[in-house]
Amino acid sequence: MTASAKSLGPIALLRYSAWDALFVGLAVVQGVVLVKFPGVLVIGIGIWWNSNTVSHGFIHNPFFRVRMLNRMFAAYLTVLLGFPHALWRSRHLAHHAESHTQSHARWHWSAELVTQTGLVILLWGVLLWFAPMFCLTVYAPGFALGMALCALHGHYEHAVGTISYHGRLYNLVFFHDGFHVEHHAQPSRHWSRLDSAAGQTQTSRWPPVLRWLDVFSLESLERFAMRSARLRWFLLRSHKRAFEQLLRDEVLQSNSIRVGIVGGGVFPRTAIVLRDLLPAAQITVIDLNHGNLETAAPLMPADVDVVHAAFDPRKHADFDVLVFPLTLRGDRGVLYQNPSAPLVLIHDWIWRRRGTSRVVSWWLLKRLNLVKP
């Protein structure tokens, strides 16, 4: 070892980044908390959190320069989480290698896997022998909870294609785990260097473990509204008022204007409202979801152009006005920071006021923001 390496002390043992010392420390803290405050939630949430942070980072970039230290840490994670880390590693790397073919993950026995399997058997054996009630009523339910959360997490990261989540708090607590599309693009890239590929990544409004809430999505509510003439009338009236107030001094008197509506499927209220307000405008709806466009077709104004595609600011740069929905999948902040048209209208939650803004409806918790470059 060189003199400079010696001067760095423990940091010199780390192979990729000094940030990995934080992961090692947090894994140790988790072990201490588990011993001091054993409980179903502590066990379950700990397994879920560690599997998607410390263990995940360790799989892709083993922390230590010395192979024996990596084996020792893998053994510690095995006992801490209650399953062989080598098995988790082989299955996860197979997932990356085979994500395009949807093949079943393959694994094979190795000396390390045999050792770690023995540690798991020993762990469960000791708990059953010395603390059977604790094992059956606390540890086992906690372990099951952790496995269920991990399964839910993994499923919804890929349920409708690989999806990222760019929420700051989640990515702080889970150490950039939300940058999932970015991670799949560069699996060997260290977690601390992952960041948002703004405007180029499919994102969700929910972190993976809560993504089942999309069942109650705005699109689902719109499909419900499609069944009621009264609800459609309410939506058209409230949206028309907001659009009219924002566009009155901008384009309502224009005779030649190009309007792009992003994600205008399901109930095409924006297309209906803007066709009424801007009778001479050239209006185009851009929506990647063919099913939504089919649902919207009966109510879509006849002279509105429909494009079945994902919005791309480079390809769709010839509009005077662009309208973005509340259901937008992507980095909404980019739209506010770099508007891609002379006038950009963005549907947003009522507490997110940006630029010139009008409330669509307090009942809908929704407002319409107008921003300019």
Q: Over the stretch 230-287, which tens digit does the pLDDT of each residue have?
A: 888 888 899 999 999 888 877 766 667 899 999 876 788 899 999 988 888 899 998 8
Q: What local confidence, expressed as pLDDT, does residue 136 receive?
A: 96
pLDDT of the residue at 10 = 54
Where does the pLDDT of residue 190 fall: very low under 50, low under 70, confident under 90, or very high at 90 and above?
very high
Give CA–CA dist 124/225, Å, rounded: 53
Contacts of 271 (CB under 8 A, 6+ apart): 261, 264, 283, 285, 300, 301, 304
| Every domain of the chain and the residues it spans | 3-156, 220-371
DSSP 8-state class, residue 359: E
Position 51 scores a pLDDT of 96
Candidate from 101-105, 156-160, 289-293 with smallest mean pLDDT: 101-105
What value does the mean pLDDT take over residues 129-139? 96
Q: Which pLDDT value is given to residue 67?
A: 94
Reply yes or no on whether the pLDDT at 55 is more than 90: yes
Question: What's the alpha-carbon Rg for the chain, to the nearest Å?
Answer: 26
How many other C-beta atoms lie within 10 A of the C-beta of residue 297? 11
Residue 170, pLDDT > 60, answer: yes
Provide the whole-model pTM.
Answer: 0.63
Phi/psi of residue 323, nearest 5 degrees? -120, 130
Query: How high is the pLDDT of residue 218?
Result: 62
Q: Which of 129-143, 175-189, 195-209, 270-284 has the lowest mean pLDDT?
A: 195-209
CA–CA distance, 220 with 322 (Å, rounded to integer)? 24
Burial class (CB in 10 A: 0-12, 13-18, 19+), 189: middle
What per-residue confidence (pLDDT) applies to 4? Answer: 37
Q: What percent of the chain has pLDDT over 70?
A: 87
User: What's the mean per-residue pLDDT of the chain?
Assistant: 85
Q: Mean pLDDT lowest for which of 63-72, 235-244, 290-299?
A: 290-299
Quick one: pLDDT band at residue 53, thresholds 50, 70, 90? very high
Percent of the chain with pLDDT over 90: 43
pLDDT at 71: 96
Provide the pLDDT for residue 291: 75
Mean predicted confidence (pLDDT) in 95-115: 71
Superfamily of structural domain 220-371? Vaccinia Virus protein VP39 (3.40.50.150)
- Average pLDDT value for residue range 14-34: 94
Mean pLDDT confidence for 69-88: 96
Where are the extended beta strands (E) located within the chain? 258-262, 282-287, 305-308, 321-324, 343-349, 356-361, 366-371
> Considering only 114-128, 206-220, 294-308, which range has the smallest mean pLDDT?
206-220
